[in-house]
């Protein structure tokens, strides 16, 4: 049985729970409680993730460099990889994401996979918006989504026309 390492850190969007298998980051969740069986011993992957998140929130990092191992179906893994390909401070809609994963008619399935992303922020599901440019469903809540998008827009020093509708 693989050991799960965990820590909780404060952030501008509230407490973040991070987990690792010791080799990769496996979860980054909003306001979640750790399992009592998880280890709070030091873990190099979690330490790197915490440092990179601090840089991200300080506007000093636009790309994460971490080994990731999210648990999901093959389709979910494909969607989550496509999320990682969305450039910093840019947004796309669910239809565009469906096209990127090879099925223009899969907007609803892509939305469900997006909502089950277990590594928030690092796998930037917050960069997916509605077809009309509106903020739509986000597991962390729309206020967190808006905060993350605003942070990225300010850091990048540009206004995204789609975000101006927010």
pLDDT (tens digit per residue) in 133-149: 888 877 788 899 999 99
**CATH fold of the domain at 74-165:** Arc Repressor Mutant, subunit A (1.10.10)
Confidence check: pLDDT of 93 > 80? yes
Which of these is catalytic: 125, 135, 149, 151? Answer: 125
Span(s) in the chain for CATH 3.30.160: 5-57
**pLDDT score for 2:** 81
Annotation marks residue 43 as catalytic:
no
- CA-to-CA distance for 49 and 69, rounded, in angstroms? 13
Q: Is the CATH number 3.30.160 carried by domain 5-57?
A: yes
- Interior CA angle at 62 toward 68 and 80, to 5°? 35
Task: Identify the residue with better confidence: 106 or 84.
Answer: 84
| Degrees to nearest 5, angle at CA 101 with 99 and 107 | 60
| Domain boundaries for CATH 1.10.10.10 within the chain | 74-165
Q: Is 113 exposed, middle or buried (0-12, 13-18, 19+ CB in 10 A)?
A: buried
What pTM, to 2 d.p., does this model score? Answer: 0.90
Q: What is the mean predicted confidence (pLDDT) over 118-123? A: 97
Find the Cα–Cα–Cα–Cα dihedral 137, 143, 145, 149, rounded to 10°. Answer: 140
Averaged confidence pLDDT in the chain: 91
Question: Would you state the pLDDT for residue 1?
Answer: 67
């Amino acid at each position: 049985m693989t050991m799960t390492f965990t820590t909780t850190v404060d952030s501008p969007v509230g407490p973040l729970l991070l987990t690792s298998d010791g080799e990769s980051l496996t979860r980054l969740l909003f306001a979640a409680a750790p399992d009592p069986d998880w280890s709070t011993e030091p873990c190099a992957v979690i330490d790197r993730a915490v440092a990179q998140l601090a840089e991200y929130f300080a506007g000093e990092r636009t790309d994460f460099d971490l080994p990731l191992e999210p648990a999901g179906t093959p389709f979910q893994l494909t969607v989550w990889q496509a999320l990682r390909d969305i450039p910093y401070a840019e947004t796309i809609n669910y239809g565009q994401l469906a096209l990127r994963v090879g099925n223009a008619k899969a907007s609803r399935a892509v939305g469900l996979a997006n909502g089950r992303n277990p590594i928030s922020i690092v796998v930037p599901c917050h960069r997916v918006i509605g077809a009309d440019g509106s903020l739509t469903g986000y597991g962390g809540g729309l206020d967190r989504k808006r905060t993350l998008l605003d942070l990225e827009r300010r850091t990048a020093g540009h206004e995204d026309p789609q975000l101006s509708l927010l």
